[in-house]
Amino acid sequence: MQGVLFDLDGILTDTAKFHFAAWSRLAQEKLGVTLPAEFESRLKGVSRVDSLVRIMDYAQVTDQYTPEQIEQMANEKNGYYVQAIEKLTQADILPGIPALLAELAARKIPCVIASASKNAPLILKNLGLTSEFAAIVDPAKVAHGKPAPDIFSAAAQAIGASPAECVGVEDAVAGITAINAAGAVAVGVGDPQELAAAEIIVPTTADLTYAVLEQAYQARAK
Q: 172-191 mask for Mg ion (x: CB under 5 A)?
A: x-------------------
What residues line the site for ligand BG6 (CB under 6 A)?
A: 8-9, 19, 43-48, 51, 78, 115-119
Q: Which of Mg ion, ligand BG6, none interacts with 188 (beta carbon under 5 to 8 A by kind)?
A: none
What's the Cα-to-Cα distance from 15 to each of 22, 80, 112, 195, rounded to whole Å? Answer: 11, 13, 19, 19
When binding is defined by CB under 5 A, the residue of 5, 6, 7, 55 that contacts Mg ion is 7
**DSSP-derived 3-state class of residue 164:** helix
8 Å CB contact between 186 and 180: yes
**In the complex with ligand BG6, which residue's Cβ is closer, 117 or 205?**
117
**In the complex with ligand BG6, which residue's Cβ is closer, 30 or 48?**
48
**DSSP-derived 3-state class of residue 135:** strand
**Residue 133, C-beta contacts closer than 8 angstroms, at least 6 positions apart:** 6, 111, 112, 113, 124
Q: Which of ligand BG6, Mg ion, none interacts with 171 (beta carbon under 5 to 8 A by kind)?
A: Mg ion
Active site residue 7: yes
Which residues are part of the catalytic machinery?
7, 9
